[in-house]
Structure 1
Amino acid sequence: MGFRKKKKTDPAGEIEIKPKKPGVFKRLWRKIKGIDWSNPVNKWRLLFASLFAVIAMVGIVFGAVTATNNPKFCAFCHEMGPEFVTYEASAHSEIQCVECHVKPGVVNEVVHKVESLKEVYYHVTGVPDPIVQTVAVLDENCLQCHSENRLVTATGDLKVNHEEHIKEDIPCITCHSGVAHAKVVDRGINSQKDMGYWKKDNADKLVTPEYMRPNMGTCIDCHDKVNKGERPWKDIQYSLPDNPHEKGEKKEASHAEAATVDTAAATLTAEEQAVHNKKTQQEIILQAIGKQKKDVKLSMECFTCHKEVSTPKDHEQKDWTQNHGGNAIQDLNNCLDCHKDTKWIKKVPTQNIVSLIEAGATKTAYKPNLTVVKNDSRESNFCSSCHGYRPLGHTNSDTWLTAHAPHAATNEQKAECYVCHDRKKPAEGEKIKAPTDVYCEFCHRTGFKDEKK
């Protein structure tokens, strides 16, 4: 049996309607309107209440800004793993991210906080993969800490007139793009599939000085363009990593290396294209080692930029180009310290993060080994810049064709040939490593009768 509360009725028998109770804000407004503001006590109460509200609001805003400015706040998002690990391992680890990435000024910082709300949206809905820097760090951010009058590096070797570069409006980031994040975008190791590897324990294998210091290839590429009458830094895309999210003509226009591909190359096959690109790099490298010395705006000689480092004395020997192989076998690490591609070309090649970690964990001291030297010289564009040209001892093609057999009689002699030549024609789609497209089985189609010993 249920009981119901009977609705009250008026004497006429009609249902009594209660007046609607006003809401919280309406009651509060009525209360404020009812205050006697002529009373000094009420005025003081209002002043203290307002002051407390302002202090509380400022405290909340300051706390939020301070918390979000802390680099560890960025680390909360897994997609920022590469940026956070590289930042902690860099020379900038003692300053906050916003000191580089936000234009100085309170108003700019507030605007940045509002604009950063889109990062929350990306985090929830799915961030662009990979994350790419599309807004350059401004010079005025750098100049908050650094002087524009610096003439030499801390080592005293490198001569870089910062003031002259600044007068030409060359952005700091053009040379110092890897100083905080080790060029992880250019190296292709910051995609979502690689996030699990970005741990503090792997920092020493992934964040190395060669990717954080100014890249000599950038200096060479820029100086070469200046000698051709160009001012490449005027396009900010020259200073930023390639953005894989751009499409069509915009992406092609932003490619820093687009100028190295001529129209004739577009008609080549994939195999010929690879050889063409390699030879294009060879030309740049040869310019860098002293081909541009006279009648140019910027000489490419070592002493143009270096006070101490120069071409070693033994490299000046007349027969050095023909007889340096023995030195390479005995002291390969010293050779590669100068002759590595990452020093001589602007664009950093794409890497595999697993291979970097494994190589860092299993790295052993070099022992003289012809096979290692052969493989490294084939991979190196610097070595290929000479190995791609016919040696003096090869004479002319017709004579050499019938006279080279005694020079390739033993396995050791053949190994020397394989430094420059592939034995077999590279398979379609295979990476071409040899500096020349002349391979042995072009003539020896049935192979060699035997391997001489």
Structure 2
Amino acid sequence: MAFWRKSKQTETSPETETREGKKKVGLIRRLWRKFRNIDWKNPVNRWKLGFVLLFGLIAMSGTAYGAIAFTSSPSFCKSCHEMAPEYQTFKASAHSEIKCTQCHIEPGAKNMVLHKIESMKEVYYHIVGPPDPIVQTVPVMKVNCGQCHSDNRLVTATGDLKVNHKKHIKEDIPCITCHAGVAHAKVVDRGINGSETYDHWTEQNIKKLMKKEYTNPNMGTCIDCHDKVNKGQKPWKDIAYSLPVSTHGAEKGKGDGAETATAEPHEADVTGVQGSHETTKKTQEIILQAIGKQKDGAKISMDCFTCHKEVAIPKSHEKVKWNESHGGTAFKELNECINCHQDSKWIRDIAKQDILELIKDDGVKEKYVPDITVVKDKSRDSAFCSACHGNRPPGHLDSDKWLTAHASKAETKDAKARCYVCHDKEKPAEGTKSTAPTDVYCKYCHRTGFKSEKGV
């Protein structure tokens, strides 16, 4: 190229050469010429170069640090509309005074930089549309929690629970296995962080959407894990056990001949004994262990007092044969019974919720009015109640004797109502599934009805 230019210049006239010389040289070329013409043997010039390079390095470092600091702040995270559930729950949580990165990025400058590079895909998702719902796939590491929390802790702040954190940590159990909802109230498990919910995540609604029962460890998590340990398993070894169930890709391949992916079934859908899933049986087995009726081969005691210091069994429960005579108390004080015996306390998973219903909830509990129909429904639907109600009561004698002897036990309307707790009065309609723990219904024998009901 240089030779070609040289030959061209020799052929041009002096007038043309003068015109070419008047052309402006580019900025970069001028700077480069000046740089080449500098006398680098002069120590003053070398010091000047060193100062310029140092200044440039500081400027670049400051810019990079500022960018990292800005993109690590909660205010930056909230700038994306799709992060409304995560941001609002974070602001209302006990961790609201720390940065998101303190939990979600493993400590260290290298990890911070790598995370920022990986996070470029979040920008892409923000433009083309994020996954719906957004599900955490990278766990919060134990080392992150250790920046603020001590391993050597036995009794919780409430003073009731006895939790040996040191032993759990020794077993390498991730903190989030128990504390999954501490910052974001398990919004994924509850099904209230989809795109249709973003506009409802406001400061005005946050108190109704984020309650202690979702931020505190769920007793069902402890029980489920202890139950698995008693069966020789270590469920926490699979990190998926500690993360929310992801439904992404559930419809993948639909209609294109590809294999259709299926989401993991949600185990919190508990119904009565008859016609229910394995979840109900599993819950009932756990309940029986917790109330001291099954202790064979238990490596970890499932008794309530293993973990609780202040739990007191009501005096009424100390009555002889309480399990056979508590029906009257349940009828009068069902709301009190449900406080301890609700299924949500015994199972790990949380049932899906409707965010609009949660927002409408005014927090005022409806007063319970004794109603045998309500008691019947609760005793059938509750895994705790149906654990026993699914078994034949001792007072029923043998079937052949009970058949002719039970009339006196069902003479009045109230007495019959107690029978209906376990028995359907009429044959269930075709195509419907009864929640009764037995398939014996009254009109199987009493086909014309009852004398006391005729003419009513």
* Class of the TM-score when normalised by the shorter of the 2 chains: 0.7 to 0.9
Q: Which residue of structure 2 lines up, in the alignment, with residue 340 of structure 1?
A: 342
Counterparts of 1:25 and 1:174 in 2: how far apart (Å)? 58
Pair 1:169–1:245, CA change in 2 (3 A): same
TM-score, length-normalised on structure 1? 0.82
Q: What amino acid is aligned across from residue 140 of structure 2 in structure 1?
A: V
CA shift for structure 1 position 146: 0.9
CA shift for structure 1 position 310: 4.0
Q: Which residue of structure 1 lines up, in the alignment, with residue 201 of structure 2?
A: 198
Aligned-residue sequence identity (percent) comes to 55
SS in 1 for 2:130: coil
SS in 1 for 2:351: coil
CA shift for structure 1 position 115: 0.7
Q: What amino acid is aligned across from residue 381 of structure 1 in structure 2?
A: A
Matched, 1:232 2:235: yes
CA contact (8 A) 2:247 2:264 kept: no
The correspondence of residues 367-446 of structure 1 with structure 2, limited to 5 A, is 367-370=368-371, 371-401=373-403, 403-404=405-406, 407-408=409-410, 411-423=413-425, 425=428, 428=431, 434=435, 436-438=437-439, 440=441, 443=444
Q: Which residue of structure 1 lines up, in the alignment, with residue 298 of structure 2?
A: 296
Matched, 1:48 2:51: yes
Q: Which residue of structure 1 lines up, in the alignment, with residue 9 of structure 2?
A: none
* Cα-to-partner distance string for 1:286-343 (whole Å, 9 max, x where unaligned): 2232234354211111221122214333223223223323333444443222212221
CA contact (8 A) 1:379 1:433 kept: no
* Cα-to-partner distance string for 1:381-432 (whole Å, 9 max, x where unaligned): 222222222223333444445554554555544443443445552774x7x6
Pair 1:415–1:91, CA change in 2 (3 A): farther
Q: Which moved more, 1:17-26 or 1:184-193?
A: 17-26
Counterparts of 1:418 and 1:33 in 2: how far apart (Å)? 100
Q: What amino acid is aligned across from residue 356 of structure 1 in structure 2?
A: L
Matched, 1:101 2:107: no
* Cα-to-partner distance string for 1:250-281 (whole Å, 9 max, x where unaligned): 988988979xxxxxxxxxxxx97535543333
Matched, 1:139 2:142: yes
SS in 2 for 1:361: coil
Q: Which residue of structure 1 lines up, in the alignment, with residue 186 of structure 2?
A: 183
* Cα-to-partner distance string for 1:205-231 (whole Å, 9 max, x where unaligned): 221111111111111111111111111
Q: What amino acid is aligned across from residue 335 of structure 1 in structure 2?
A: C
The correspondence of residues 137-286 of structure 1 with structure 2, limited to 5 A, is 137-245=140-248, 274=276, 276-286=278-288
Counterparts of 2:136 and 2:386 in 1: how far apart (Å)? 33
CA contact (8 A) 1:179 1:213 kept: yes
Pair 1:91–1:42, CA change in 2 (3 A): same
The correspondence of residues 101-140 of structure 1 with structure 2, limited to 5 A, is 101-140=104-143
Counterparts of 2:170 and 2:185 in 1: how far apart (Å)? 27
Matched, 1:313 2:322: no
CA shift for structure 1 position 449: 6.7
SS in 2 for 1:154: coil
Q: What amino acid is aligned across from residue 80 of structure 2 in structure 1?
A: C
Matched, 1:63 2:72: no
TM-score, length-normalised on structure 2? 0.82
Counterparts of 1:433 and 1:138 in 2: how far apart (Å)? 46
SS in 1 for 2:204: helix
CA shift for structure 1 position 153: 1.0
SS in 2 for 1:120: helix
CA contact (8 A) 2:267 2:279 kept: no
Q: What amino acid is aligned across from residue 129 of structure 1 in structure 2?
A: D
Counterparts of 2:136 and 2:441 in 1: how far apart (Å)? 46
Counterparts of 1:84 and 1:344 in 2: how far apart (Å)? 29
CA shift for structure 1 position 60: 1.6
Counterparts of 2:65 and 2:445 in 1: how far apart (Å)? 77
Q: What amino acid is aligned across from residue 282 of structure 1 in structure 2?
A: Q
2:95 to 68, 92, 98: 92
CA shift for structure 1 position 285: 2.3
CA contact (8 A) 1:425 1:441 kept: no
Pair 1:440–1:254, CA change in 2 (3 A): closer
CA shift for structure 1 position 18: 5.1
CA shift for structure 1 position 121: 0.8
Pair 1:157–1:114, CA change in 2 (3 A): same
Pair 1:387–1:217, CA change in 2 (3 A): same
Counterparts of 1:344 and 1:427 in 2: how far apart (Å)? 33
SS in 2 for 1:291: coil
CA shift for structure 1 position 100: 0.9
* Cα-to-partner distance string for 1:65-89 (whole Å, 9 max, x where unaligned): 2211111211111221111121122
* Cα-to-partner distance string for 1:177-218 (whole Å, 9 max, x where unaligned): 111111111112211122222222222222111111111111
SS in 1 for 2:122: helix
Q: Which moved more, 1:75-84 or 1:242-251?
A: 242-251
Pair 1:393–1:17, CA change in 2 (3 A): farther
Pair 1:39–1:281, CA change in 2 (3 A): same
1:83 to 67, 71, 86: 86
SS in 2 for 1:200: coil
Counterparts of 1:146 and 1:295 in 2: how far apart (Å)? 34
Q: CA RMSD in A?
A: 3.6
How many residues are aligned here? 428
CA shift for structure 1 position 122: 1.0
